[in-house]
Amino acid sequence: MKIVKTPIQLRALLEQEPYKQGKIGFVPTMGALHQGHISLIEESQKMSDFTVCSIFVNPTQFNDPEDLKKYPRPIEQDIKMLETAHCDVLYLPSESDIYPEKIQIKETFYVDGLDTVLEGASRPGHFSGVMQVVKILLEHVQPDLLFLGQKDYQQFLILSKMVQLLHLKTEVVRCNIYREKSGLAMSSRNIRLSADARMKAGLIYATLKYAASLLPLFNIFEIKQLCFHLLNAPQNFHADYFEILDAKTLKEISDSTTEYIIITSVIVEGVRLIDNILIKMNG
Ligand code: AMP
């Protein structure tokens, strides 16, 4: 695996043979890699000729400075995991490579309100930071394919919209959620949970599936209330939201809805955990 640290080195590499003739798949991450990230690398390997993974902990998307400080950065372990997965290129830029001037949000995109609900409502500015950094990374990598996880479903929708607004040639690919045995969606933040909470957090996925099973039987308002209550019940669990929305617009279900998203954010022992499931209508 080639490791490159600056945008200039990266462009020099990708404009050489054999990379320049091939299809480039890109997996942006913030490191502290787990099997969920590796599943994106594997998806990229199936669909592209070369896979570039980036690791950059982006300060502009953290609205809580404590969360940024506590974000795990086990870079040696990450490199080993990427080598084992046969990733082709690791892009490891520094803050000054991404933000040569000031580290601040400069530009944002109008994404039809996708960025102001759910995570956007609880973490003001978060998605502006995400759009900013991914736009810069896309300029550096210039990939044919961009692989994003469904775990961050709202992020996937927003970035797909941004790619469309920028008229980029990049195709956005949504990848399935990789889970721990308990059903908890894998996340770099899970290591901050106690062993007990980590096991109990399987309740989040169980509740999403329960909500899906109730959809034909009860009205959405009742299901949301019940599930929100269930996720608030255990000690040290605090449900931020539990929503059932139109999967394309993140607005209320309407006659034109073809797919639902059941989506939640639960704070467990102070750690924010998000998860969702998609449900096709009549399917
Ligand atoms: P992060 O490092 O948390 O910014 O995540 C980098 C990418 O990995 C994003 O596209 C995430 O949606 C994706 N990802 C994170 N966790 C998982 C998971 N459990 N399964 C699949 N993809 C994931």
CA dist., res. 21 & res. 88, Å (int): 15
Collapsing DSSP states into helix, strand and coil, what is residue 217?
Answer: coil
C-alpha to C-alpha distances, 163 to 26, 166, 170, nearest whole angstrom: 14, 5, 7
Q: Looking at residue 102, what is its pLDDT?
A: 83
Measured in Å, residue 197 CA sits from the centre of ligand 1 at 21
- For residue 18, say if its preceding peptide bond is cis, omega within 30 degrees of 0: yes
Check if the beta carbon of residue 177 is closer than 8 Å to that of residue 185.
Answer: yes
CA dist., res. 199 & res. 197, Å (int): 5
CA dist., res. 233 & res. 166, Å (int): 44
CA dist., res. 157 & res. 86, Å (int): 28
Order across the sheet with 145-149: list the strands. Answer: 2-4, 89-91, 50-55, 24-29, 145-149, 171-175
Ligand 1 atom 17, closest CA: 36
pLDDT in tens, 231-258: 999 999 999 999 999 999 999 999 999 9
Q: Looking at residue 106, what is its pLDDT?
A: 74
Measured in Å, residue 219 CA sits from the centre of ligand 1 at 32
- Whether the CA torsion 99, 100, 102, 106 is positive or negative: it is negative
> Could you say which residues of the chain have pLDDT below 50?
283
CA dist., res. 99 & res. 127, Å (int): 17
Ligand 1 probe mutation, 90, 138, 152, most atoms within 8 A of CB: 152
Q: Looking at residue 67, what is its pLDDT?
A: 87
- CB-ligand 1 contact for 30 (6 Å cutoff): yes
